Structure 1
Amino acid sequence: MSLFNFNRPSDYVDAAREMADSGRPTLARLLAEEAADRTQDPHEAARILAEFPARTLRKEN
C-alpha cells in the first residue's frame, strides 16, 4: 500500500480506489464517504459515493 497524505477529498478517493483494487470494498466505501463529506459540491459527492457501491457501516443518529 502506498503512503497517503490526507489533505484533500481526492486523497481519500485515491486511497479508496487502492482499497477497492486490493479487495477491500468496505474500507474503500468508508474512505469514499469521508471524501464525500469533505466535498462541497453535492453532485461530486454523489459521484464519489456511486463509484464505491459497497454498503455503508455508518449509523445515523
Structure 2
Amino acid sequence: MALLNFSRPADYLDAAREMADSGRPTLARLLAEEAADRTTDPTEAARIRTEFTGNSLRQEG
C-alpha cells in the first residue's frame, strides 16, 4: 500500500473524489473543504465546494 502525501490542495481533492466514488460522501465533503481552504484562488475554492454537495460538517471553535 502506498503512503499518501497530502501536501497540495490537489491531493485532498483527489482523495475527496476517491471517497465520493467509494460511497463515503461525508469524508469526501470534509476532504473537499480542506482542499478549498488550501486553494489560493477564491474562484477555484468555490468551484471545489460546489462540486461536493451537502452542508459543511466541520465544527469550528
Same fold (TM over 0.5): yes
What percent identity do the matched residue pairs reach? 75
Task: Name the CA distance, whole Å, in 1 between partners of 2:13 and 2:57.
Answer: 17
CA root-mean-square deviation: 1.8
Q: Does the CA-based 8 Å contact 1:20-1:28 persist in structure 2?
A: yes
Give the TM-score normalised by the residue count of structure 2: 0.88
Give the TM-score normalised by the residue count of structure 1: 0.88
Aligned residue for 1:40? 40
Gaps of 5+ in 1: none
Moved runs in structure 1, 4+ residues, more than 2 A?
1-4
Gaps of 5+ in 2: none
Q: Is residue 20 of structure 1 aligned with residue 8 of structure 2?
A: no
